[in-house]
Amino acid sequence: MRVPDGIEELSVSVDDVPLGPYPPLGFLPVAEAALGNGDYYGLYWPIGRENQSPVVCDMFHDEHALKPCFSSVERFIEWLKVSEWERGDNEIADEMSPALLFAEARVCYSGSDVKGAVELLKKACDVLPEVSEYWHALSTQAKRLSEVELSAQSALNALNSNWVFGLPSQGVIRMLRSPSVREAIPNDPLIQRIDELELGFGGVKENPAYSVIYECVQEYFKREQFIEGLVLYQNYAYMMYSETLSFQERHDFNLQDWQSEYTGLCLQYLGDNRTISDQMVMA
């Protein structure tokens, strides 16, 4: 994991580094501007970008969700200084903030500037490629421009995003079941199983979606599509962790076993176990 410039100005503790699935592996909490009820900011390295600088996200404990905020530690510290190191309503210029790029894109496509919206959405997805809402919007706007392949791939990315940033909408599933998407990317494991996949979780004794997701994870690994497989396996555990203990037991899911397996898979496939040590922070 690449330690970003400026981290020495933040209060971080490697003892608090989560191992996933929530908060996800690769999220490093910081003490500054924390609310004190389990909601705090943290640095996040997207899966596959361990050698790059992290973005900064806000953690919503009760919702089990992360929200993208700042494009870099530098911009986050700038905002903290303006806000006197507390939460506040002050704003700073952060042109590459994925959240701001997305907001600007929405203004564009609401005003019929579809091309402008597509360019902004591409940037948002490039800064943080794990947010379903960004990819879904890009897919929809690309379709308006008749960019079939971009629309299809973006729809697939909207499904295989990191669900800690928000579950894909049912509209994503409908898009992926359309003939144009099936024709554009017919060999993808998720596309091949899309008719079997529903995104309803909890409240049932059995849910075949877990078997479909797990089998797609293994297929991605078999095809050496390691990032796709790791993102999907994170999602598998994220949803499974919200199920009842009896449901987890029926599916042979144990949190500690999964955490150990997942860090090992990250090391095997990414060359980095996505954890942070004292030596890294103090380097």
The Cα–Cα gap between 218 and 226 comes to: 10
Structure-token pair, residue 137: 């919007």
pLDDT of residue 88: 82
Does residue 189 contact residue 220 with C-beta atoms inside 8 Å? Answer: yes
Question: How high is the pLDDT of residue 214?
Answer: 98
Which residues 6+ apart lie within 8 Å of 275 measured at CB?
A: 1, 17, 19, 25, 263
> For residue 248, what are the contacts with CB-CB under 8 A and spacing of at least 6?
240, 241, 254, 255
Cross-strand partners of 27: 44
Beta bridge partners of 29: 42
Q: Which residue's structure tokens are 């397996």?
A: 261
Omega before residue 186 within 30° of 0, cis: no
The rounded distance, in Å, linking the Cα atoms of 66 and 282 is 26
Tokens of 126: 């490039």
Nearest to 171 by CA among 219, 216, 139: 139
Strand-pair partners of 57: 42, 68
Whole-number pLDDT of residue 278: 54
The upper half-sphere exposure of residue 124, i.e. CA atoms within 13 Å in the direction of its Cβ, equals 27
What are the backbone dihedrals phi and psi of residue 160, each rounded to the nearest 5 degrees, phi first?
A: -95, 55
Give φ, ψ of 13 to 5 degrees.
Answer: -135, 120
Per-residue pLDDT of the chain in tens (283 residues, 90 and over written 9): 898 999 999 998 777 789 999 999 999 999 999 987 778 999 999 999 999 999 999 999 889 999 999 999 999 999 999 998 988 888 899 999 999 999 999 999 999 999 999 999 999 999 999 999 999 999 999 999 999 999 999 999 999 999 999 999 999 999 999 999 999 999 999 999 999 999 989 888 899 999 999 999 999 999 999 999 999 999 999 999 999 999 999 999 999 999 999 999 999 999 999 987 654 555 4
Q: Where in the chain is the domain with CATH 1.25.40.10?
A: 95-183
| Cα 41 to Cα 79: distance, rounded to the nearest angstrom | 12
Structure tokens at 172: 């994503």
Q: Choose the CATH number for 95-183 among 1.25.40.10, 1.10.3720.10, 3.30.160.110, 1.20.1530.20.
A: 1.25.40.10
